[in-house]
Homo-oligomer: A and B are copies of this chain.
Amino acid sequence: MSDRAKDLNERSLQLLKALVERYISDGQPVGSRVLSKDSALNLSPATIRNVMADLEDLGLIHSPHTSAGRIPTVSGYRLFVNSLLTVKPLNAKELMRLYQGLSERDDASNMIGVASRLLAELTKMAGVVTLPRRELVCLRHIEFLPLSHKRVLVIFVTNEQEVHNKVIHTDKVFSAAELQQAGAYLNSIYCGHSLATVRAAVLKELQDDQERMNQAMLDAIKMAQLTFESDSGKDDYVLAGQTNLMGFSELSDRDHLKKLFDAFTHKQDVIHLLDQAMKAEGVQIFIGEESGYQAFDHCSLVTSSYSVNDEVVGVLGVIGPTRMAYEKIIPFVDVTAKLLGAALNPKTTAP
């Protein structure tokens, strides 16, 4: 789908723009009459019909049946979003809500929840925010507790106050004292580093000459390795306002709705999609079937990655029907991402 804009003259594009905007606001197929009156370009319905026939040939719009108006296709929306759309700034009230909600410093996971709820509430659609990637958070404290048999409970704290825990299986039995010593050792050398750094360092230690370490140190390193191995796949997200989606007539089909909600609970597909979105910096939009997931066939997803310290750590967005007010949602998601990123920035956290 290279830019079709070139295949079309200015007038056709303006017409498409007017049509999409009209359809988004009214939700009904729009005919030549209304466009004739509505749009700034003074054209007769007949002319508009001719232009619309061209647009239909290009696959940008289509009509549900002979005597209905036209509605945009996915390609039509895409062209609209890419080249025609004029974003509207948020109004003061919305901005204020966002700003207030995301300025109080709090537990990061609470903040994620707040962001998700704000997205849902202010857009009347569903909001989604991924948890910040673990890799990039910094290790603050680690500690081991003995469980029965050869299992060890690892507790580690990241950033200010986020606690994670995991059970690892060791190949020998450790006493509480040994474990405490291992924790102290790891704290002394890795505290303050990012998890990614820690993992890399641990791997390096294990590959390097191990002669210079005593057994206790080696055990500690091994346990650290078990703790931090392949935890990266365990991404997650916080969803809010799913039920808002039940109000939209375009999602009224019970089957579509079920598929969508199933995707929400199984999470996997949604995570993949959000992962994709995270790769592209800034605002990213998936319209209808573009996402590639059937569950999202009649939905659009507007996302933006959010960053802490200029490093992308997560992504947030809004899920709604394909027919959504992109010109408002896009800046909205953009601003929310920036505010969330700023709010999560530890450097500016009050003591």
Binding site for B on A (CB under 8 A): 107, 141, 143, 145, 147-149, 151, 153, 155, 157, 160-161, 163, 165, 167, 242-243, 246-247, 252, 254, 257-258, 261-262, 265, 349, 351
Contact = CB atoms under 8 A, between A and B. Distances in A.
B161 A147 contact: yes
B145 A153 contact: no
A163 B163 contact: yes
Contact of A258 (B107, B153, B247): B247
The 7 closest A-B pairs by CB, nearest first: A163-B165, A243-B261, A246-B258, A243-B258, A243-B262, A148-B351, A153-B161
B107 A167 contact: yes
A245 to B, nearest CB: 10
B153 A157 contact: yes
Contacts of A147: 160-161
A191 to B, nearest CB: 12
A252 B149 CA distance: 51
- Chain A contact surface mostly: mixed
8 contacts: A107-B167, A141-B145, A147-B160, A147-B161, A155-B155, A155-B163, A243-B262, A246-B254
B141 A157 contact: no
A257 B261 contact: no
A265 B246 contact: no
Contacts of A351: 148-149
A114 to B, nearest CB: 15
Given A147-B160, A153-B157, A242-B261, 19 more contacts: A107-B167, A141-B145, A143-B143, A147-B161, A148-B160, A148-B349, A148-B351, A149-B351, A151-B161, A153-B163, A155-B155, A161-B167, A163-B163, A243-B258, A243-B261, A246-B254, A246-B261, A247-B254, A252-B254
Contact of A243 (B149, B157, B165, B265): B265
